Amino acid sequence: MRRSPNVQRLLFLGLSGPIIALNIWLVSLAFRYFEHLITVLTIAAILAFLMNYPVRILERIGVSRAWAVGIVLLVALTLLVILGLTLVPILLDQAVQLLKNIPAWLQASNDNLLRFDTWAKEHRLPLNLKGFASRINTSIENQVQAVATQAVGVALGTVSGLLELILVVVLAFYMLLYGDRVWQGLINLLPAQIGLPLSTSLQVNFQNFFLSQLLLGLFMVGTLTPIFLVLNIPFALLFALLIGAAELIPFIGATLGIGLVTLLVTLQDFKLGVLVAIASIIMQQIKDNFLAPKLMGDFTGLNPIWIFIAVLMGGKIAGLLGVIVSVPLAGTIKDTIETIRRLRQPQVVTSETFYQDSSQI
- Four-CA torsion 82, 86, 89, 90, nearest 10 degrees: -140
Would you write out the chain's pLDDT as a tens digit for each of its 361 residues? 455 566 666 666 666 667 777 777 787 787 778 878 888 888 888 888 888 888 989 999 988 888 998 999 899 889 888 887 888 788 888 887 887 777 777 777 777 777 777 777 777 766 665 566 666 666 666 665 555 555 545 444 555 667 777 888 888 888 888 887 887 887 888 777 777 778 878 877 887 788 888 888 899 999 999 999 999 988 899 999 999 988 888 777 888 889 989 988 887 788 888 999 999 999 999 988 888 777 665 555 667 777 788 888 888 777 778 888 888 888 888 887 887 777 766 655 455 554 455 444 4
Q: Where are the domains of the chain?
A: 31-189, 191-344
